[in-house]
């Protein structure tokens, strides 16, 4: 069975500071990894994904995540955050490529609070 | 291109009633997924439909059911509503791999 652990439920940070949101997963099969963002009263938006290839993936708004197979991690980073980055962030894992149960398993979420 | 659309946006029901939530996937997407986001419980996988068939089901009681229509839209039905069914219900569609989510339907059970 697959599982995802987001190690921090809340991360407060000042504007323009760097941030890292941690995500670890467990799986016995090859996986795809995702980060989704949820702004207040909205649905989930895909931030970035790792399917294959380069282990470092980037989003258009400055976030990046690195797939580390040996540490089973997919931490999300941004070198300088903005107030508008305040949201809840979800790490997710799926087996859509291999056994394909159709499930996307989510972590519990990390609330990023950017302070001025 | 229109995204995943869900209706209604908000729904208020009382215990024991039935709720029906609807989802229209992105054009061309054949798979529809339903997730429940309840306070304190995170995002839980409910159902997966593909090509009109139920492909997988999460750990929810049988009173949670649904279907997918020939045009790939989907309904989620929740019978005999309980207070703990209050949650945001998210629908997502996919073609291959990546899931695209709608804005959700917020169900409140009083």
- Strand segments (E) across chain A: 3-6, 10-14, 19-21, 23-26, 32-38, 44-50, 56-58, 64-68, 73-78, 87-94, 104-106, 110-115
Nearest 10 degrees: Cα torsion B106, A108, B23, B15: -40
A36 contacts in B (CB within 8 Å)?
101
Q: Which long-range contacts (CB under 8 A, 24 or more apart) does B1-7 make?
A: B1/B26, B1/B27, B2/B26, B2/B27, B3/B100, B3/B102, B4/A43, B4/B91, B4/B92, B4/B93, B4/B100, B4/B101, B4/B102, B5/B102, B6/B89, B6/B90, B6/B91, B6/B102, B6/B103, B6/B104, B6/B105, B7/B105
The answer to whether the CB of A37 falls within 8 A of the CB of A89 is yes
Angle CA(A29)–CA(A50)–CA(A101) in degrees, nearest 5? 40
Each residue's pLDDT tens digit in chain A (116 positions)? 778 999 999 999 999 999 999 999 988 777 889 999 999 888 899 999 988 888 899 888 899 999 998 999 999 999 999 999 999 999 999 876 555 666 788 999 999 999 99
3-state helix, strand, coil in chain B (%, to 5): 5, 55, 45
B102 in reach of chain A (CB within 8 A): yes
**Backbone phi, then psi, for B77, in 5-degree steps?**
-115, 135
CB contact under 8 A, A46 and B55: no
The whole-angstrom separation of Cα A27 and Cα A37 is 23
Strands B87-94 and B100-101: antiparallel
B104 in reach of chain A (CB within 8 A): yes
Each residue's pLDDT tens digit in chain B (110 positions)? 689 999 999 999 999 999 999 999 999 898 999 999 998 788 999 999 999 999 989 999 999 999 999 999 999 999 999 999 999 999 999 876 678 899 999 999 99
How confident is the model at residue B97, as a pLDDT? 65
How confident is the model at residue A103, as a pLDDT? 74
Tokens of A12: 């407060």
Of B48, B50, B101, the CB nearest to A44: B101
**Three-state secondary-structure class, residue A86:** coil
CB contact under 8 A, B103 and A43: yes
Nearest Cα neighbor of A105 from A37, A4, A7 is: A4
B105 in reach of chain A (CB within 8 A): no
How would you list the strands of the sheet with B64-68, edge to edge?
A: B5-7, B19-24, B74-78, B64-68
Condensed to tens digits (0 to 9), the pLDDT of residues B29-40 reads: 989 999 999 987
The whole-angstrom separation of Cα A90 and Cα B31 is 21
Condensed to tens digits (0 to 9), the pLDDT of residues A2-26 reads: 789 999 999 999 999 999 999 999 8
- Say how many CB pairs under 8 Å bridge A and B: 53
Tokens of A99: 């056994």
């Amino acid at each position: 069975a697959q599982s995802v652990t987001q190690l921090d439920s809340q991360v407060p940070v000042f504007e323009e500071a760097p941030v890292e949101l941690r995500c670890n997963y467990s799986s016995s099969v090859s996986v795809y990894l995702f980060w989704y963002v949820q702004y207040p009263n909205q649905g989930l938006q895909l931030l970035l994904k790792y399917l294959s290839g380069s282990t470092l993936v980037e989003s258009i708004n400055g976030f990046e995540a690195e797939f580390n197979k040996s540490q089973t991690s997919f931490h999300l980073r941004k070198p300088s955050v903005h107030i508008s980055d305040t949201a809840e962030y979800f790490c997710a894992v799926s087996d859509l490529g291999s056994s394909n149960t159709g499930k996307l398993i989510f972590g519990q979420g990390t609330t990023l609070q950017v302070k001025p | 291109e229109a995204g995943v659309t869900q209706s209604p946006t908000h729904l208020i029901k009382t215990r024991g009633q039935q709720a029906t939530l609807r989802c229209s996937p992105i054009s061309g997407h054949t798979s529809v997924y339903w997730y429940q986001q309840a306070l304190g419980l995170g995002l839980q996988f409910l159902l997966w439909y593909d090509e009109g068939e139920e492909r997988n089901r999460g750990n929810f009681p049988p009173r949670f059911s649904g279907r997918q229509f020939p045009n790939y839209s989907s309904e989620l039905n929740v019978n005999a509503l309980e207070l703990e069914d209050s949650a945001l219900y998210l629908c997502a569609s996919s073609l291959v791999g990546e899931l695209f989510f709608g804005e959700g339907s917020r169900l409140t059970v009083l």
